[in-house]
Structure 1
């Protein structure tokens, strides 16, 4: 990895941590940034505020989700602007998700074309075909088999899966009726329960899936899944 890419990753990590502290009142314990191909991923660990902890204890997760959604909608444009000023690259899409009980979060930006020139991604990692077939099965259970699926390893611990063409007609109608956020929450719960309780993925990758995140861009009929892996 070039010194410039490494420096960009450190600066983006520092800026993201600062933005979260400024808006949430508390930042994450650590921020890991990876740049590769046309993707930038940001993985946050130990991120939960004292007020969120109280709400969790009182089983008010919905309130936490609503607050985070509002704050992230304010923060993400600022992070995108910073990335563009730093690297000259404009992020066209941004995805995010979190796991409250593991206190982790992911932010993932995609730019047009392979212009980031970060560390090379591994598009032929061990178990790729089997993993994509398993993701097809997941999609079929919760929506439909995607028209297109692309996956690659950003690094040995981080795997990105992008699916296009997954919405069914009923979901599109719910989105048209303004129920997109409710639909996303339901789909997220279903998919992540599958990902968190699926030993098949561990066997395919010969690694343990420690964390998983998923988000959608309904306008593009597109989904992004990020898997964080470790030793079995």
Structure 2
């Protein structure tokens, strides 16, 4: 028996809400799922927590300190924006991250190699003790990735 689109959409939304509650200890305000003619979309509303709930930490200060850490060995990002989607996750978006040499290697097809080396360098640059002092929280893990064709990167910090 084939499920109708609407019941499949409802099931998907229920699963997403449950996953959010499992991982973030709270769910979004609402989740809308749409499945139509080969397209699948998810609209999540009212999930970001107001910044004032996050240890009175100044976003600009976090962004500046992370830029300074990266600039020790790599091109300083042209811009950085930090987001706190939950009490335990910080997402940092950097743009203008590639230097001329990196762009040339990517153009020549060495994308995987550039990612491996940049990840190794950036992970070494992250001074976890300093970040923990700044955030007043323990940093459990740092994930790093880039979208080279958009000249941007993301860092995800999992914190206590």
Using the size of structure 1 for normalisation, the TM-score is 0.51
SS in 1 for 2:98: coil
Matched, 1:131 2:62: yes
Contact kept? 1:146, 1:163, Cα under 8 Å: yes
Aligned to 1:117, which of 24, 45, 54? 45
C-alpha deviation, 1:116, in angstroms? 3.4
Q: Which residue of 2 aligns with 1:229?
A: 159
- Tell me, in whole angstroms, the C-alpha distance in 2 between the residues paired with 1:205 and 1:5: 33
Aligned to 1:180, which of 111, 114, 138? 111
SS in 1 for 2:23: strand
- Tell me, in whole angstroms, the C-alpha distance in 2 between the residues paired with 1:6 and 1:211: 28
* RMSD of Structure 2 on Structure 1 (CA): 2.9
Matched, 1:191 2:122: yes
**Matched residue pairs, number?**
135
Q: Which residue of 2 aligns with 1:141?
A: 72
- Tell me, in whole angstroms, the C-alpha distance in 2 between the residues paired with 1:35 and 1:192: 31
Any stretches of 5+ residues in structure 1 without a counterpart? 14-30, 37-83, 90-114
SS in 1 for 2:91: strand
C-alpha deviation, 1:199, in angstroms? 1.2
Aligned to 1:211, which of 141, 144, 158? 141
Contact kept? 2:145, 2:154, Cα under 8 Å: yes
Query: Relative to 1, partners in 2 of residues 1:177 and 1:227: Cα closer, same or farther, differing over 3 Å?
Result: same
